[in-house]
Structure 1
Amino acid sequence: MTYEKAPQHFTAPVSRRLALTLGGGLVGLVLAACSKTETAPASTASAAGASAAPAAQAEPVRGGQLVVAIRAEPAQLNPLVDQGSGAHSVRPALDSLVWDNGDGTHAPWLASSWEVSDDATTYVFHLRKDVHFHDGTPFNAAAVKANFDYVNNPANKSTGSTAKLKPVATVIDEYTVSVKLGTPESSFLTLIAAPYFGILSQQQIEQDPKSLATKLIGTGPFKFDSWVKGQSLTYVRNDDYQWAPAQFHAGAAYLDSVKYVFLPEDQTRYNALTTKEAHVVDYIAPEYAKSVKQSADYQNEEFLLPGVGYSLHFNTRRAPFDKLEVRQALLHGLNREEIVASATFGAYPVQEYLASTTPDFNKELKNKISYDADKANRLLDEAGWGTRDAQGYRSKEGQRLSASIPYADNDQLAQRTLEQVQIDARKLGFEIKLQPVTDLPERLYNGNYGLLGTFQSEATGMQLWRLYGSDNISDGSTVGSNASFLSIPELDALLAKARASGKSPDRARYYAQAQEILPNYAPSVPLYSRARLVAIQKNVHGVAWDKAWPQPYLFDAWIGK
């Protein structure tokens, strides 16, 4: 394998995810222009809260501490700033305004109902009146406004999708708040249903903002207890909790506490399952997936992450990827089926530009990516790379056809994947240099790469805008997540229509068209959707899925004998 050395230095972590007034006299106009609250049929809501475990014992057992082994320790806890690893461990303390059913519909949570304007720019939320924060302060419209004000303040450097939309919140009355977006977004409810927009205490935000990084004060079923850096994050039951989404049980949680332990090594995390040191093990690595699924010793539940899976983005600001023929040559010349099967031990499926579990995935997609080595070689010849050097690599005017791809030096899956990519590219005469680094997230912003592997999981086609929209290109003054730096006016027009569509079928139609044209421009090579496999000890019941940011939801969980 060919590797390229890079400076090894510590840099502050940056999230892999980037993400955002109506006066009283305008309220009537806003409501008149709004559609009715979006709710799911009863059967959908029930399925959304269904247990990840087999049928539970008849009577839940109260008490005990549930230990959950996860891959990554959050860099800090404030979800309004960081959408990275923290989103996997903050949910016990934080509720959201709405619950995502996972099928494009939403159910009430902290908001009892809401209206959406036809142009998807204004959202009016009617809030529950019986909720309070862990610090005893009331949950109301002013508290919700404080959260939106926080992410909308550039000084706070929020990286979330919500911040990208520049939301302006206005208090209509004590329990009604209106949110006006800077740009239309039909997927806004899905974005704010995720744990990275769990509602935080207004008092903490305004009076002790520095504590947001190390302590969570929310309205959730568990209260923040302690964070032992490098080891664990612990929550204890909130005995006053009475406002779970309707598909879950009423009252406080069954568990006394939840403890997340940070085990970044795949084998160590797997060992925590086999030794029963952890009740729940999140992100079972693909090399262990088969044995876990076949074992009678554990329960398991798998969720194919929605959004845009692991993809190789071409830096079109650099040669040779400024040429369409070269990008299309790799798009069609890499045997994605074999690469993915080898790198993931057959555990993950190949994807197109959206994962098949994304509500906006085009199920009738015609322009699918095909493997065609002859076409790839012909494209490279036509682009002027017909000569081969002594090592068999293509060259032009004495310059080898070559590009580097950085990856996190502790990411074993990325390394295996890129090694397979390197092998396939060499068959085409294309040199790919692998570059293990410690500053991978920052590379997206400074463009220091030839190709860049990323994935973004969110249950909406909005991710196509996040990754391929022209207004998400970093320009030196703003940070964007368009890693190809490619502007596609035809695509921008479709994405704008999708985001401004108040009705879900309209949104899906435009996103479907966007998926049809993306292969024509080849901004990236999509590889696989991650299958998030969670293993659960046999005596644990009631683990559900939070589908806004797919992960185990533990409110209904309990430990049996």
Structure 2
Amino acid sequence: MPGIPTTASRSRTPPTNSALRGAPLLIRKKAAIAAAAILALSATGCAASVSAGTSSDSSNSRYGGTLTFLDPVAYTAFNVTNTLWSNSNVVPQLVDRLTYQDAKTGKIEPWLASSWDVSSDGLTYTFHLRKGVTFSDGTQLDAQVVKDNYDQHGLGDKAKGIAADSFFTGYVKSTVVDPSTVSITLSKPDAGFLQVTSIYRSGIVAKSTLEKDWNAQGQLDNLVGSGPFKVKSHDANNTTITLERRDDYDWAPQGFAHQGKAYLKEIVYKTVAEDSVRMGSVKSGQAQIARNILPTDEAALKSAGITVNSYSVQGEVNHLGINLNSKFVDNENVRLALQAATNRQELRDTVLSDSYGVAKSVLPQADHNFTDQSSYLQYDQAKAEKLLADAGFTKGSDGFLQKDGNTLGFTIYVAPYYQTSKKLLQLLSQEWGKVGVQLTVKEVDSGTYSTKILSADTAFNQTQWSRADADVLRTAFGSEYGFANKVANPELDKLLQSQAEAGTPDARQKIVTDIQKYLLEHALEIPLYDETQVFALAKTVNGFATEPVARAELYDTWLSK
């Protein structure tokens, strides 16, 4: 049987000072708009004033209150598979999954499924469902609705405009054994499948949601889950969203800090793009949590008595993905040279903060499958220059390398999802310029960006996949999955499939280590830094936690009176 994570009690993701993720690029507004946003927050009475919290509050006193959560990135469609950071901090409060992954240990524990069995050949997973679970529309959780959810993920639904989910590649079918038992069949063993049942994008939704087409499923009012909160209201553009507690909720994983209904009465999510407004709102008590704290704001917030926590994002490191169909990068010496010309320590120390880890592999240091491959990632200008010379490049009159009359140059676009992207890429341009490589940094709107990064003319794009399992590498690089390099690589595909079919956790880890080495030996990506999410928490916030890929969990969160 594949190396399946075992069931264990869970501890919540602890904040770390050497953690992970660069967050979305913030949309700047004029001062007048910023002032208006502050007034709007005040006028809506988002929350009570901040006062010193105390962890000694009795359990009963923890219930109640409204928490306001500020996000710089606009909310888009609320399909459960939407991985946009803003959306995926809301959806986990509304939907539950079959299983839950302990962020600290990586172990899988029961949730909507009270237990499960895996066949000896690793092809069949049978889940026994928890009884008494209801969706927010009052309907019951049963095997049929789980089957219908997983069929939409694994097979898609052309009539509804729903594509198959790449995380479910290998899915064959689900079978209703009885009302509380569902059996899932795979085409080949997949050691990471049980973990797929725990991720936020695999949240189980009600029949009323599944019956709608893709676009309608993305409308917030149509998202019906079994989570501890439900949608109360939202404005036309989803710039303000209010969730209210479900008082009948009583099926949290046993590893959570409490059972029964959530502590908070309501959660208000607001889109606030301007940094100063978000920071000022937390300082003044108009809001309790702000996501995406700029590295330059961390010290000032701490000095004002605001808690600043960074949380590890398991999955890939933040890196430059490489399209091998693009000019020059099909040459391995060029890619290895750019790897050596990238000064990761300088990037972290200049653009980021101590909250971010320096990349030491293709997986972040906090990832359970990480092995230190920093020997491949040492900054070495002389090595880079020699590799480029060996590739036949010579320096032109403008200082940049040339070959056959063509300048060794690339255009890269600022990623609108990472707040530090522009400054980081500009510094990277300077670093590569030292070895004669021209890197032109351009900034475009998000729609244009999505088109540009798919073009063969664009060799590099700043990216990252979040998933707390080694199979994230197959999701990203496999020919049947993300196909990151856009060129078939049978040797890599074989390694990626082998880790999924490994018979034991130790055997799987050995293969995963080989994959990390392979990707760096051939410079199939250029790691930048370990992914991090940084949150500012008001003094009144207690019990805040995130799941393995740093999406907020607010079930155990409470506000000091």
TM over 0.5: yes
Distance 1:34 1:466 in 2: 18
Residues 95 and 218 of structure 1 are in contact (CA less than 8 Å); yes or no, is this contact kept in structure 2?
Answer: yes
Output the amino acid matched with 1:341: D
Moved more, 457-466 or 171-180: 457-466
* Number of the residue aligned with 1:12: none
State which of 239, 245, 261 in structure 1 corresponds to 2:247: 239
Q: Deviations over 1:400-423 (max 9, x none)?
A: 111111224585411111101110
Is residue 101 of structure 2 the alignment partner of residue 93 of structure 1?
Answer: no
Moved over 6 A (4+): 33-37, 49-54
Moved more, 89-98 or 505-514: 505-514
State which of 474, 478, 482 in structure 2 corresponds to 1:469: 478
| Cα drift, residue 38 of structure 1 | 2.5
Output the amino acid matched with 2:285: K
Residues 78 and 217 of structure 2 are in contact (CA less than 8 Å); yes or no, is this contact kept in structure 1?
Answer: yes
Task: Say if 1:503 and 1:369 are closer, same or farther in 2 by CA, change over 3 A.
Answer: same
Distance 2:408 2:106 in 1: 44
* Number of the residue aligned with 2:175: 170
State which of 39, 44, 53 in structure 1 corresponds to 2:7: 39
State which of 354, 362, 368 in structure 2 corresponds to 1:353: 362
| Cα drift, residue 252 of structure 1 | 1.0
Output the amino acid matched with 2:251: W
Distance 1:123 1:305 in 2: 27
Distance 1:51 1:482 in 2: 33
Task: Say if 1:265 and 1:179 are closer, same or farther in 2 by CA, change over 3 A.
Answer: farther
Distance 1:358 1:504 in 2: 15
Is residue 337 of structure 2 the alignment partner of residue 329 of structure 1?
Answer: yes
Q: Deviations over 1:491-545 (max 9, x none)?
A: 3222111112353333222111111222211011100012212221112222222
Q: Deviations over 1:350-405 (max 9, x none)?
A: 11211111111125x4753221111110111111102x222101111211111111
* Number of the residue aligned with 1:525: 526
* Number of the residue aligned with 1:311: 319
* Number of the residue aligned with 1:123: 125
Output the amino acid matched with 1:259: V
* Number of the residue aligned with 2:226: 219
* Number of the residue aligned with 1:390: 397
* Number of the residue aligned with 1:505: 506
* Number of the residue aligned with 2:57: 57
State which of 193, 198, 206 in structure 2 corresponds to 1:188: 193
- 1:76-475 matched pairs, under 5 angstroms: 76-80=77-81, 85-102=86-103, 103-151=105-153, 152-155=155-158, 156-158=161-163, 160-206=165-211, 211-214=216-219, 215=221, 216-228=223-235, 229-248=237-256, 249-292=258-301, 294-295=302-303, 297-351=305-359, 352-363=361-372, 365=373, 367-386=375-394, 388-408=395-415, 411-438=418-445, 439-472=448-481
Is residue 76 of structure 2 the alignment partner of residue 75 of structure 1?
Answer: yes
* Number of the residue aligned with 1:16: none
| Cα drift, residue 313 of structure 1 | 2.0
Where 1:437 maps in the other structure, the secondary structure is: coil
Distance 2:400 2:345 in 1: 24
Higher relative contact order (Cα pairs below 8 Å, separated by 6+ residues): 2
Distance 2:229 2:533 in 1: 24
TM-score when normalising by structure 1: 0.85
Task: Say if 1:460 and 1:222 are closer, same or farther in 2 by CA, change over 3 A.
Answer: same
Task: Say if 1:334 and 1:208 are closer, same or farther in 2 by CA, change over 3 A.
Answer: closer
Distance 2:343 2:374 in 1: 19
| Cα drift, residue 245 of structure 1 | 0.8
Output the amino acid matched with 2:553: Y
Task: Say if 1:535 and 1:558 are closer, same or farther in 2 by CA, change over 3 A.
Answer: same
Where 1:107 maps in the other structure, the secondary structure is: strand
Distance 2:244 2:431 in 1: 51
Q: Deviations over 1:432-464 (max 9, x none)?
A: 111222232344444441211111221111121
Where 2:443 maps in the other structure, the secondary structure is: strand
Distance 1:61 1:513 in 2: 48
TM-score when normalising by structure 2: 0.85
* Number of the residue aligned with 2:46: none
Moved more, 453-462 or 156-165: 156-165
Residues 123 and 189 of structure 2 are in contact (CA less than 8 Å); yes or no, is this contact kept in structure 1?
Answer: yes
Output the amino acid matched with 1:375: K
| Cα drift, residue 220 of structure 1 | 0.7
Distance 1:246 1:65 in 2: 25
Distance 1:234 1:462 in 2: 35
Structure 2 stretches lacking a partner, 5+ long: 17-52
Distance 1:339 1:209 in 2: 40
| Cα drift, residue 119 of structure 1 | 4.7
Moved more, 114-123 or 371-380: 114-123
